[in-house]
Amino acid sequence: MSKGRLEAFTDGFFAIIITILVLEIKLPGTDEAIFPMILHLFPKFVAYFISFVIVGVYWVSHHLMMHYIKHTNRTFLWINLFFMMSVSITPFFAAILGEHSTSADAIALYSGLQVIIGLFSNVIWWYATKRGGLLDENVGRLIIRTMWARNLIAPVLYGIAIPVAYSNIVMAFAIFFVVPIVHIAPTLLDFQWVTKLVTKLAAGGQKA
């Protein structure tokens, strides 16, 4: 089964999710002046920004995984669909976060969803690498490990954000901003830093 339609379907899906996020920011019916209204909506823009970037992280990760995956099967389609289902709840939980931005519960709920999405992301990669015939033959252990590491950043950090939210809300939001920075920063250095680190770790792991 070719991977073309799965990619087109998932790309269309991601394009819709990042666009639907902005629909959750609704124009208040009041006669408020423009700039106070925008300031008033500031928490919603923050929730929008965080969600846009994290969905962007998932899309780039999916893009990278599919770069190394050559074939798909029905099980893969279904794992991908459940991954998409978890992503599709993000706009709704982002709306809750934007509406109740000072509520530790809203932050915990949002973080919990991101942990689940991160886990599904790992299930995709786990199935692709464990079941024969899906992965490109030239993909080495280093790439497989780097991708694992990459896919674990978001769920681990969001998992930490859950208890943090109940002691310090500002710190929890700080973690939300750390997630995309960790993903984008090495990208700007063309991943040389991460590649070197993982190479060292992998070398260390092979010695041990």
Among 42, 136, 187, 199, binds a copy of itself (CB under 8 A): 187
Nearer to a copy of itself, 73 or 168 (CB): 73
According to the 3-state scheme, what is the secondary structure of the chain? Answer: CCCHHHHHHHHHHHHHHHHHHHHCCCCCCCCCCHHHHHHHCHHHHHHHHHHHHHHHHHHHHHHHHHHHECCCCHHHHHHHHHHHHHHHCHHHHHHHHHHCCCCHHHHHHHHHHHHHHHHHHHHHHHHHHHCCCCECCCCCHHHHHHHHHHHHHHHHHHHHHHHHHHHCHHHHHHHHHHHHHHHHHHHHCCCHHHHHHHHHHHHHHHHC
Q: Is 88 in the site for a copy of itself (CB under 8 A)?
A: yes
Among 92, 166, 177, 193, binds a copy of itself (CB under 8 A): 92
Among 47, 58, 69, 91, binds a copy of itself (CB under 8 A): 91
Nearer to a copy of itself, 64 or 144 (CB): 64
- Count CA atoms within 13 Å of residue 197 on its CB side: 8
Among 81, 119, 142, 202, binds a copy of itself (CB under 8 A): 81
Among 106, 116, 165, 198, binds a copy of itself (CB under 8 A): 106
Nearer to a copy of itself, 5 or 205 (CB): 5
- How far is 8 from 4, CA to CA, in rounded Å? 6
Q: Is 69 in the site for a copy of itself (CB under 8 A)?
A: no
Residue 69: what are its φ and ψ, rounded to 5°? -95, 130
Tokens of 196: 């070197």
Q: Is 126 in the site for a copy of itself (CB under 8 A)?
A: no
**What is the total count of residues that contact a copy of itself (CB under 8 A)?**
61
Q: Is 18 in the site for a copy of itself (CB under 8 A)?
A: yes
Q: Is 194 in the site for a copy of itself (CB under 8 A)?
A: no
Write out the residues near a copy of itself by the rule CB under 8 A: 1, 5, 7-23, 25, 27, 33-35, 37-38, 49, 52-53, 56, 59-60, 63-64, 66-67, 73-75, 77-78, 81, 84-85, 88-89, 91-92, 95-96, 99-100, 103, 105-106, 109, 184, 187-188, 190-191
